[in-house]
Amino acid sequence: MIRLGKFRPGPEKCFGEILKKRKPVFRPLSSFKMILLSFLLPGGLLLVATPARSQEPVFLSHEMTGRILSYRVRPGDILLGIRSRFGLSLSTLVRENAIRDPDLIHPGQILRIDTRHIVPPPPGDGILINLPEKMMFFFSRGRLVLSAPVALGKPSRPTPEGGYRVVSKRVNPEWMVPPSIQEEMRRQGQEVLTRVPPGPDNPLGHYWLGLSLPHYGIHGTNAPSSLYTMTTHGCIRLSPGEIETLFGKVSLGTPVRIVDRPVLLARSLKGRLYLEVHPDVYHEEEDLPGDFFRWLSRHPGLRIDAEKARQVLRDREGRPVDVTRPDS
């Protein structure tokens, strides 16, 4: 964990894997754009509403987690697994290590891995998940004690933003397959399952943290290579090791905040400014550069190299980049 120091005064400080009867959550028409998607559910159509942001478009922070490290490829490693384990994009991993064929890494090969992420300012103790960042942060007594990459809902089943609480904890949960996923299995020619007992074939893994939003939760996985992707039915997946650690630290009633902020900015103790930008598959057409520079115009004390910032906003590689002006 890298402490970056407090901001100076001025800038504001700022599942369902089990989806039995998901109901649409709507906001006033002036505050959201809506995507309507049809699914064969017992109750008919499932309407998925993707809210537009009405808050400030940039997260200001004073903390980063992770580091730049050298990783020696182990027997059996694949790039997708390395990507998921460390939480970085596959394209960045390939480009920064000059990998011509992702299928041809070999044991003993040394890879440069950048695991850094800007930590969003927490609203308080508890679990914070930033959707575009595909990261989970757990705070206790005002300190970050755990951060980890997660898998989140695909665009047709987005993980919902909002404030929730942990309302249940289960070890070795049974998965009751919801009718909507049974229908997906049927359409894809797979064996249709109605329940999956605890064990290696259970996609919930060994631990389940149920949220106050019915049928949603945070759980483990039997497919670790799916981490750091948006491929679930709305669930929040953690690696087997990380969910075990989190399960032991979380109690019933723990707050869970899910936010959607693709742009994060942090300032170090030495005054360096770091910009981290992620693709946002839930709001693809939004004008992130325009939103960022309009926001920046209201914070003239942040001395940012505009051209570097534009490049970071174009690339959206999901890693912190120093965008401090040379004369700062």
Q: What is the mean pLDDT of each run of 10 residues along the chain (328 residues)?
A: 39 31 34 31 36 68 95 95 94 92 91 96 95 97 96 94 97 90 90 92 95 94 94 94 97 97 94 94 84 93 96 95 91
Tell which phi-psi region holds residue 44, choosing left (phi > 0), alpha (psi between -120 and 50) or beta.
left
Tell which phi-psi region holds residue 292, choosing left (phi > 0), alpha (psi between -120 and 50) or beta.
alpha
pLDDT of residue 180: 82
Query: Which amino acid, residue 229?
Result: T
pLDDT of residue 19: 31
Measured CA to CA, the distance from residue 164 to residue 215 in angstroms comes to 12
Measured CA to CA, the distance from residue 13 to residue 21 in angstroms comes to 37
219 catalytic per annotation: yes
pLDDT of residue 153: 96
Q: And the tokens for 155?
A: 């665009």
What are the sequence ranges of the domains in the chain?
Answer: 67-115, 125-259
Q: Give percent of the chain with pLDDT exceeding 70.
A: 83
Buried b (16+ CB within 10 A) or exposed e, 89-123: bbebbbeeeebeeeeebeeeeebebbbbbbbbbbe
Of the chain, the end-to-end C-alpha distance in Å amounts to 25
pLDDT of residue 309: 98
pLDDT of residue 26: 33
pLDDT of residue 263: 96
Q: Which of 117, 219, 233, 278 is catalytic?
A: 219
CATH number of 67-115: 3.10.350.10
Q: Minimal CA–CA distance to 17: which of 212, 111, 154?
A: 154
Other C-beta atoms closer than 10 Å to the C-beta of 134 total: 22
Measured CA to CA, the distance from residue 227 to residue 237 in angstroms comes to 7
pLDDT of residue 285: 66
CATH 2.40.440.10, domain 125-259, yes or no? yes
pTM as predicted = 0.81
pLDDT of residue 27: 34
* Domain 67-115 and domain 125-259 have a common topology: no
Q: Which of 215, 233, 235, 278 is catalytic?
A: 235
Distance (Å) of CA 10 to CA 13, 60, 251: 9, 11, 36
Residues 150/129, Cβ–Cβ less than 8 Å = yes
215 catalytic per annotation: no
